[in-house]
Amino acid sequence: MTVRVRLLGRPSVEPRPEQPFHAPRGRKSWALLARIALADRPLTRSELAAELFGETDDPAGSLRWGLADLRRSLGLTELLRGDRLRLTRTDLWLDVWALEDGTLPYADIGGALLDGIALRDCPEFDLWLLMARSHYSLRSDSELRNQALEHLASGRLTDAVGAAERAAKLQPLDDSMQELFVRALVAAGRIDAARAQLAACEALFAREGMRVSPALRAAAQDRRTQPRGVRAGSIATALLQAGIAALDAGAADGGIETLRRAADEARRANDTALLARVLLALGSALVHAVRGFDGEGAVVLHQGLLAARLAQRPDVAAEILRELGYVDVQAGRHVSAARELENALREAGEAGDLALAALITAVQAMNLGDRGRHVAASTLLAESAKQSERSGRPRNQIWSLGTLARSQLHAGWPDEAQATAEASLAGARRHQWTAYQPWPQAIRAECLLRAGLWREARRDAEESFALACELGDPCWEGMAARALGEVAALTGKHDAAWEWLADARQRCDRVSDRYVWVSGHIALAQLNLAAKADPRQVPDLAARLYRDAVRFDLPEFAAWALVHQARSGDRSRVALAQAAARGVDNPALHEAIAALADR
């Protein structure tokens, strides 16, 4: 029988009838088990002895005792033998492994890794545990959300409510988690409970100086329709076309309501293929056309994914998975996004759609870039742009180039980034894609600033900001306002720079489904300005950026926050910055960390 071990929350070994249960005798035995189980490679005895028992008189002997304690506790006499130590799934079942592969039931999700375990004189392990706890906290939130959405889509409403409720309890101040819980209650017909939960959220948020989003309030409304007689699928098809036309004309509210009616008609016609297409259009509109409604969009897209698979439409399934991956990238759920985008590529391969595969690859690269993997992201984006050009999809090419310019800039290639941003901007103008134009123009402004061309940078930033305000896009507004703040800072106008950067953060963060990378990008600009103009603000700004970067899995920004903390005198942050920056392709960041390490 497989031994079952829980490392989330208070660590424990599940007792077995055939063998008396004895918990490991020491905290270091638990630490040893977690360290080996969660390593990405086999660890040598010398590594483990130095990390966990380096302060003892006999590190190797202490390690042998710890390994023997684990064998005795787990009842596995041949476990962890030899010099290179690793654990496999044939040896044990671990809740953290199940969490990673999406098989852990929602009732078992939650709790800090090795809760209650703290070691003395083990700084390297402490650093590893801090980062591992952050990782599994993110995975727990993401997995609960995914399970709730999947249960909602498939009609398992009791489980949907259970998973969403657990997510909401773990993150009581997370607007999107509360919205999902309220939506699950409404879907289950528990309207009074949904309204009570909304009222409780409003009270809690008010005590914290926050306000619930319009999307959370809208979630408490009962949108379920009463069935009428089944109507022909042609009605749904006509409504689908009308809804898409309205969206293309800029009438987002009317287009979305028309698509809602199209979904109702497709359900009554019992046409799963048509329903999948309608739900793809509706979910995409909620994600892109109306800011603040990504939560509802995700629910709709999961329903569409189920319909697409029932209808055996891999092309539609691939597009839906791409949209779901895009939502997760913007929200900082990078592990979940990677899984969805990998599935999207597989579906696109089945459909034989190379152009769609190129766009999926571009979103994968965006996901890598957000986590600082700019070299790999640049390679993927360059190929995606070429494939989109060959496929005759100019907007896909423009989008890939705009995202590529961002990664080239952070990878330390400003000249290439400027040329790429200019190509993206020229394409957006040529193909009249006004809604995208502010992004490459803001990126080009940053490139011009790096070159010291502040007048040209200010012109680009002003044009980008004016258009973003006209479009009403919070993230575009934030990016452009950040560039204006950087221009002011470069020219010595620190008061104006503070105002622009504060305005940029407020604009970006005014919606609950903001693009978290942009928010972090603005926060880093504020921190850089504080370091030059008002060092007293550095500790608070660095702590906030680090907290947000850890929460949203943005290691590049986390490392920069730690660099500023170390520069302010906290030398303990240097090792943490080195760990956070591993895998991040940013020469300026690594130079800053190296300079701190050499002091």
Within a 13 Å sphere around the CA of 198, how many CA atoms are in the beta-carbon half?
Answer: 21
At 498 the pLDDT is: 96
19 phi, psi to nearest 5 deg: -150, 130
Q: Is residue 290 part of a domain?
A: no
Could you report the per-residue pLDDT of 176-219, keeping only the tens digit for each? Answer: 999 999 999 999 999 999 999 999 999 999 999 988 988 899 99
- Do residue 86 and residue 154 come from a single domain? no
Lowest mean pLDDT among 122-126, 339-343, 458-462, 534-538: 122-126
Residue 120's pLDDT band (boundaries 50, 70, 90)?
A: confident
Average pLDDT over residues 42-47: 92
Contacts of 365 (CB under 8 A, 6+ apart): 376, 377, 378, 379, 380, 381, 384, 400, 403, 404, 407
Distance CA 219, CA 284 (A): 18
Distance CA 560, CA 583 (A): 14
Distance CA 239, CA 486 (A): 47
**Burial grade of 510 (CB within 10 A; 0-12, 13-18, 19 or more):** middle
353 phi, psi to nearest 5 deg: -100, 95
Domain boundary at 48, 76, 101, which? 101
Predicted confidence (pLDDT) at residue 536 exceeds the cutoff of 60: yes
Predicted confidence (pLDDT) at residue 109 exceeds the cutoff of 50: yes
At 20 the pLDDT is: 58
- Do residue 87 and residue 13 come from a single domain? yes
Average pLDDT over residues 498-521: 94
Instruction: Kindly calculate the radius of gyration of the chain based on its CA atoms and give it in whole angstroms.
Output: 26
Residue 225's pLDDT band (boundaries 50, 70, 90)?
A: low
At 232 the pLDDT is: 57
Q: Is residue 240 part of a domain?
A: no
Predicted confidence (pLDDT) at residue 421 exceeds the cutoff of 50: yes
At 252 the pLDDT is: 84
At 229 the pLDDT is: 47
Average pLDDT over residues 268-275: 92
Distance CA 277, CA 357 (A): 18
The enclosing domain of 145 has a CATH number of 1.25.40
Average pLDDT over residues 509-529: 94
Dig out the tokens for 424 from the structure.
């993206």
Predicted confidence (pLDDT) at residue 38 exceeds the cutoff of 90: yes
- Do residue 90 and residue 153 come from a single domain? no
At 228 the pLDDT is: 52
Give the whole-number percent of the chain exceeding pLDDT 90. Answer: 76
Rounded to whole angstroms, what are the CA distances from 451 to 20, 407, 448, 590?
70, 17, 5, 21
The CA angle 60-65-67, to the nearest 5 degrees, is 95
At 122 the pLDDT is: 87
Distance CA 422, CA 46 (A): 53
Contacts of 202 (CB under 8 A, 6+ apart): 212
Residue 484's pLDDT band (boundaries 50, 70, 90)?
A: very high
Residue 83's pLDDT band (boundaries 50, 70, 90)?
A: confident
Distance CA 110, CA 106 (A): 8
Lowest mean pLDDT among 80-84, 377-381, 397-401: 80-84
Could you report the per-residue pLDDT of 9-25, keeping only the tens digit for each? Answer: 999 888 766 665 566 77
When comparing pLDDT for 226 and 57, which is higher?
A: 57
| Domains held by the chain: number | 2
Q: Is residue 424 part of a domain?
A: no
Of residues 268, 283, 287, the one with CA closest to residue 513: 287
Domain that holds residue 147: 140-219
Average pLDDT over residues 85-114: 90
- Do residue 87 and residue 154 come from a single domain? no
When comparing pLDDT for 121 and 329, which is higher?
A: 329
Could you report the per-residue pLDDT of 296-316, keeping only the tens digit for each? Answer: 999 999 999 999 999 999 999
Predicted confidence (pLDDT) at residue 143 exceeds the cutoff of 50: yes
Could you report the per-residue pLDDT of 579-591, keeping only the tens digit for each? Answer: 999 999 999 999 9
Q: Is residue 166 part of a domain?
A: yes
DSSP states of 60-123:
HHHHHHHHHHHHHHHT-TTSS-SSEE---TTTEEEHHHHHHHT-S-GGG--S-BTTT---SS-H
Largest CA distance in the chain: 81
Distance CA 425, CA 442 (A): 10
Q: Is residue 561 part of a domain?
A: no
Predicted confidence (pLDDT) at residue 230 exceeds the cutoff of 50: no
Predicted confidence (pLDDT) at residue 77 exceeds the cutoff of 60: yes
Domain boundary at 101, 121, 154, which? 101
Dig out the tokens for 266 from the structure.
């497709």
Q: Considering the entire predicted model, what is its pTM?
A: 0.88
Q: Is residue 11 part of a domain?
A: yes
Rounded to whole angstroms, what are the CA distances from 268 to 181, 236, 505?
27, 9, 45
Q: What share of the chain is helix, strand, coil (3-state, %, to 5)?
A: 70, 5, 25
- Do residue 21 and residue 79 come from a single domain? yes
Within a 13 Å sphere around the CA of 33, how many CA atoms are in the beta-carbon half?
Answer: 34
Q: Is residue 544 part of a domain?
A: no
Q: Is residue 27 part of a domain?
A: yes
Average pLDDT over residues 216-234: 69
Distance CA 10, CA 16 (A): 18
Predicted confidence (pLDDT) at residue 483 exceeds the cutoff of 90: yes
DSSP state of 202: H
Please say whether the beta carbons of 24 and 71 come within 8 A. Answer: no
Distance CA 387, CA 397 (A): 8
Dig out the tokens for 554 from the structure.
């943005």
**Burial grade of 156 (CB within 10 A; 0-12, 13-18, 19 or more):** middle
Domain boundary at 41, 73, 101, which? 101
Mean pLDDT across the chain? 92
At 375 the pLDDT is: 97
Which one-letter amino acid corresponds to residue 595?
A
The enclosing domain of 11 has a CATH number of 1.10.10
Lowest mean pLDDT among 139-153, 220-234, 472-486: 220-234
H or E, element range at 5: strand 3-6
Contacts of 425 (CB under 8 A, 6+ apart): 402, 437, 440, 441, 444
